[in-house]
Amino acid sequence: MAKMGLSVRDDPPRVIDIAARQWGEVVDGFALSIEQIPREATLSVVLRNVGTQPRTLVIPGWLGFFKVETEAQPTRFGLELMKPERQTERINSNIGPGGLAEAQIPVASLFALQPGNSYPVRVSCTLPGGKILLSNAANFLAPGTYRL
């Protein structure tokens, strides 16, 4: 069920190995990392508080906060979800010192990807105060055609 985007109480929490991840440059006490979840059409985006103080961010939902940059064109569904008028939700995200916040972005639903092709991807977000935080650059492999 977790692969369908649904959570069930007995789903184990996802463990994030920060040592194995690549990170973008630190900006205002935060770092951003992206990587494709193996065998899925989803991008794991991790925001890390590298400072010594807890931080609280008020964001317009994860899809409104994180901007996925790729050469692929958005799907109609993606265009609809990314409209500013849809970004009315506000989330308070409390991140302790060294803490992490992960969002999983369904890239294959948001962008028109050709099966089996690889796309350069990067994620950015605007922090309170207007500074831009950039992730590491990565390649996103579009899922191929599956046969039964």
Q: What is the CATH number of the domain that holds 45?
A: 2.60.40.2360
Query: Residue 95 falls within a domain, yes or no?
Result: yes
Q: Which two structure tokens, joined as six digits, stand for 32?
A: 């951003």
Q: Which residues of the chain have pLDDT under 50?
A: 1-9, 146-148
d(CA 118, CA 16): 24
Give the three-class secondary structure for 80.
Answer: helix
Query: Residue 3 falls within a domain, yes or no?
Result: no
Q: Is 115 exposed, middle or buried (0-12, 13-18, 19+ CB in 10 A)?
A: exposed
d(CA 142, CA 111): 10
Per-residue pLDDT tens digits for 35-59: 999 778 899 999 999 999 999 998 8
- pLDDT at position 11 is 54
Q: Give the domain extent around 120.
A: 20-141
- pLDDT at position 148 is 40
HEC per residue, 7-28: CCCCCCCCCCCHHHCCCCCCEC
Cα 125 from chain centre? 10
Query: Residue 93 falls within a domain, yes or no?
Result: yes
Question: Is residue 93 within 8 Å of 5, Cβ to Cβ?
Answer: no
pTM score: 0.84
Query: Residue 4 falls within a domain, yes or no?
Result: no
Query: Residue 79 falls within a domain, yes or no?
Result: yes
Query: Residue 63 falls within a domain, yes or no?
Result: yes
d(CA 55, CA 57): 7
- The total domain count for the chain is 1
Query: Residue 2 falls within a domain, yes or no?
Result: no
